[in-house]
Amino acid sequence: MLVKLDDFHIKVFTNSSIVNKVCLLSLIMSLLGCVNSREKDIRNCLNNELYIENIDSVYHNQKLVPYLEFRKEYNYIYVVYLQDDCTPCYYNYLEWSRQMSNPELETDRHTVLFIIASYNYDDFIRKINKIEEVNNDFYIAIDPNFYFIDKNNNIPRWIIDASVLIDSENKIKMVGAPWINEDMQKLFHKTVNSK
């Protein structure tokens, strides 16, 4: 870069090739920093406890089931946090329902628990069914007071939004959807088939 003073004006001359390379390098460095930050967040969250003890009961096939009874049935639970009145969340619910019903991901050792920030179960399901009729094979907990987010404020929100797999002690074992790639699917199977 060359700076030239000319009658109280500053003119900047740049070699565009050098500027492009510097900009590209800066972009790559910032992206790597973001990836490293996210990897660090994940490492810091693995084996930490996810707080879900405030749930008294869950819906399953339109019926209320005591939470402790539900919890005893499964060694692993994928916790998917969604909000009502959020169109992308409705599609996320449908995607999780569809993908986790895939025979390649089904096991009797795990299930999905949707924690919905909503005041009303029926309203949420009605909105889902307007988009696409779905079997309610998975469990749903309604969180009208946003306790789930409040009690898990030590976990980065992006991790909560990505969904987590927890074990029988509510410890986080995986972050993210198991169907997104083959490595995640292998990790999922290795995790839920352990013990």
> For residue range 92-127, what is the model confidence (pLDDT) as tens digits?
999 988 888 876 666 667 899 999 999 999 999 999
- Two structure tokens written together for 15: 């070699």
Q: What was the pLDDT predicted at 3? A: 44
- Two structure tokens written together for 191: 């995790």
Phi, psi of 90 (to 5 degrees): -65, -45
The residue ranges of the chain whose pLDDT is under 50 are 1-14, 31
Return the SS3 of 33: helix
E strands, the chain, are 2-6, 9-13, 57-60, 63-66, 76-83, 110-117, 139-142, 164-166, 172-175
Return d(Cα 29, Cα 89) in angstroms, integer: 32
Q: What is the pTM of this model?
A: 0.79
